[in-house]
């Protein structure tokens, strides 16, 4: 029942808002559907805590400790982003950047995008996972190109082509998984793509086929994660799409893609009984961290700046999952949570800042703390949090990852420290004058409502000081499920 409501609410919302998305009350309806989805996610979480993992709908859907907290996180950020998008998109409409028809497209595709992410997280069928990831790509292409400017259309085509090529690689990897599974499962070949079935027989699967499959799966889903050198679509898509879409792309879609990679890693590592998948993930992750850190210095657009920051943090998470083990997996899951909350909060603040300045260029945004203290402090606190300053949760997760790397992969620790130092200097050096620099503009009489920003940052602060026992229990159970060397 909870899964039906969880998936049915955004799908019904997409159909309803396709019909009524241009009405003045449509943003409120968007929030209501997102709230219903979040309520269903909370109910599902409570049921899993009480009853343990569940396999539903003829084994087509699976809810376990690994995906249930991601479902709740996705629904929560989806809700807060829909709340933020109400005033944001109203201003965009007043400035003539979006028409009523495009608002209808925005609201309906927002709900469809939420539905595709939740299907990808809860499905037990790796074929359906691929379909959901492809549907997420198609729905977000329409959102990235919402403004129909030459730059947004170029960004949308780049996103569509690169992620289309990547998802085709993932399809081939999925086909190889099916080929290996059918030979073992025999008469059950029709259900050979169910993750629970594959996990039960992973030790019997052909290692050569599985190793080749993982290469295609990592490259395919890694494109959606934004791992270097497959990251080129991500900065453009973040910079040219509406800011609420930048928030969910960075805070949610990248998590879903890395979730798909880790699910596949569990199977392949169990078959190979070697560290090849882990080494590949560590290599791609470390390359992403280092490249993104140095690319940060060249950015002049504030949304592109934080898009490269997302690439850096996805690299850290991928590296941590590559190391494996209880502590590294726990740290990676915690980092996924705090990055989603922090980065979406940053994009909320950046969206309002760019609207007030009339530009996304960093050099044109100055003195935010004077113009609107809530925007200025929201952006500064969010930036300090994402840069790993204590006592925010990003510091806790990065500290765990670095200390684990010192023990397990000491060669990588200097590179990680160098990249984190470069990223800190680049982002802080650009954000500080945006917030505290001199500006001829006067203070705004009515600062925008930024409740979602400070709710997210409060949660990140709490996770840096105290992880609730039930949440720590999820992370530990999920870390054990993922396993690793």
- Tens of pLDDT, residue by residue over 186-235, are 655 567 788 888 888 888 888 888 889 999 999 999 999 988 888 888 88
Mean pLDDT of 262-273: 84
**Residue 54: strand pairing partners:** 63
Mean pLDDT of 353-372: 85
Q: Which residues of 88-114 are buried (b: 16+ CB within 10 A; e: fewer)?
A: bbeebbeeebbeeebbbbbbbbbbbbb
Check residue 370 and give its pLDDT: 84
The residues near 128 (Cβ < 8 Å, ≥ 6 apart) are 60, 119
Mean pLDDT of 86-106: 86
Which helix (H) or strand (E) segment is 115 a member of? helix 100-122
Query: Does the pLDDT at position 255 exceed 80?
Result: yes
Query: Does the pLDDT at position 351 exceed 70?
Result: yes
Q: Are 450 and 375 in contact (CB under 8 A)?
A: yes
Strands 61-63 and 54-56 come out as: antiparallel
Size of the chain, expressed as the number of residues it contains: 485
Which pair of structure tokens corresponds to residue 461?
Answer: 């602060």
Higher pLDDT, 445 or 77: 77
Q: Residues of the chain with pLDDT > 70: what percent?
A: 96
* Cβ-based neighbour number of residue 264 at 10 Å: 27
So where are the chain's domains? 289-485
* Cβ-based neighbour number of residue 435 at 10 Å: 23
Question: For residue 253, what is the DSSP state?
Answer: I
Query: Does the pLDDT at position 290 exceed 80?
Result: yes
Contacts by 409-417, CB closer than 8 A, 24 or more apart? 409/282, 409/323, 412/282, 412/286, 412/319, 415/286, 415/289, 415/290, 416/286, 416/289, 416/316, 416/319
* Cβ-based neighbour number of residue 175 at 10 Å: 15
pTM for this prediction? 0.94
Check residue 186 and give its pLDDT: 67
Query: Does the pLDDT at position 131 exceed 90?
Result: yes
Rounded Cα gap, residues 255 and 33, in angstroms? 22
Mean pLDDT of 437-442: 71
Match 């008469």 to its residue by tokens.
187
Q: What is the mean pLDDT of the chain?
A: 88
- Tens of pLDDT, residue by residue over 18-71, are 888 778 888 889 999 999 999 999 999 888 888 888 888 777 898 888 888 899
Mean pLDDT of 407-430: 92
């Amino acid at each position: 029942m909870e899964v039906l409501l969880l998936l049915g609410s955004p799908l019904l919302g997409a159909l309803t808002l396709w019909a009524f998305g241009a009405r003045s009350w449509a943003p409120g309806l968007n929030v209501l559907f997102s709230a219903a989805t979040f309520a269903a996610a909370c109910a599902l979480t409570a049921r899993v805590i009480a009853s343990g993992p569940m396999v539903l709908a003829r084994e087509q859907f699976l809810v376990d400790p690994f995906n249930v907290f991601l479902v709740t996180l996705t629904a929560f950020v989806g809700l807060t982003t829909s709340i933020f998008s109400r005033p944001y998109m109203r201003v965009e409409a007043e400035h003539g950047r979006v028409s009523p028809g495009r608002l209808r497209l925005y609201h309906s595709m927002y709900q469809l995008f939420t539905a595709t992410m939740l299907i990808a997280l809860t499905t037990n069928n790796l074929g359906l996972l691929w379909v959901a990831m492809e549907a997420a790509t198609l729905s977000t292409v329409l959102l990235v190109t919402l403004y129909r400017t030459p730059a947004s259309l170029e960004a949308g085509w780049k996103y569509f082509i690169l992620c289309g090529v990547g998802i085709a690689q993932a399809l081939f990897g999925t086909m190889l998984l099916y080929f290996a599974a059918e030979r073992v499962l025999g008469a059950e070949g029709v259900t050979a793509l169910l993750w629970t079935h594959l996990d039960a027989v992973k030790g019997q699967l052909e290692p050569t086929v599985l190793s080749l499959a993982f290469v295609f799966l990592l490259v395919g889903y890694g494109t959606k994660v934004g791992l270097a050198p497959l990251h080129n679509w991500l900065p453009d898509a973040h910079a040219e799409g509406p800011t609420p879409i930048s928030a969910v792309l960075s805070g949610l879609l990248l998590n879903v893609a890395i979730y798909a990679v880790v699910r596949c890693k569990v199977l392949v590592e169990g078959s190979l009984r070697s560290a090849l998948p882990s080494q590949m993930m560590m290599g791609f992750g470390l390359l992403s961290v280092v490249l993104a850190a140095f690319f940060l210095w060249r950015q002049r657009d504030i949304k592109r700046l934080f898009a490269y920051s997302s690439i850096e943090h996805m690299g850290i998470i991928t590296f941590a999952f590559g190391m494996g083990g209880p502590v590294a997996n726990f740290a990676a899951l915690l980092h996924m949570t705090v990055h989603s909350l922090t980065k979406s909060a940053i994009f909320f603040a950046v969206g309002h800042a760019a609207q007030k300045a009339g530009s996304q260029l960093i050099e044109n945004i100055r003195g935010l703390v004077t113009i609107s203290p809530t925007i200025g402090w929201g952006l500064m606190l969010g930036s300090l949090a994402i840069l790993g300053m204590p006592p925010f949760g990003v510091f806790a997760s990065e500290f765990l990852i670095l200390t684990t790397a010192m023990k397990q992969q000491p060669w990588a620790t200097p590179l990680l420290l160098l990249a984190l130092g470069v990223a800190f200097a680049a982002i802080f050096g650009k954000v500080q004058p945006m917030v505290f620099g001199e500006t001829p503009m006067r203070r705004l009489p009515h600062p925008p409502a930024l409740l979602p920003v400070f709710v997210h940052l409060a949660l990140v602060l709490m996770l840096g000081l105290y992880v609730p026992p039930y949440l720590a229990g999820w992370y530990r159970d999920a870390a054990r499920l993922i396993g690793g060397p």
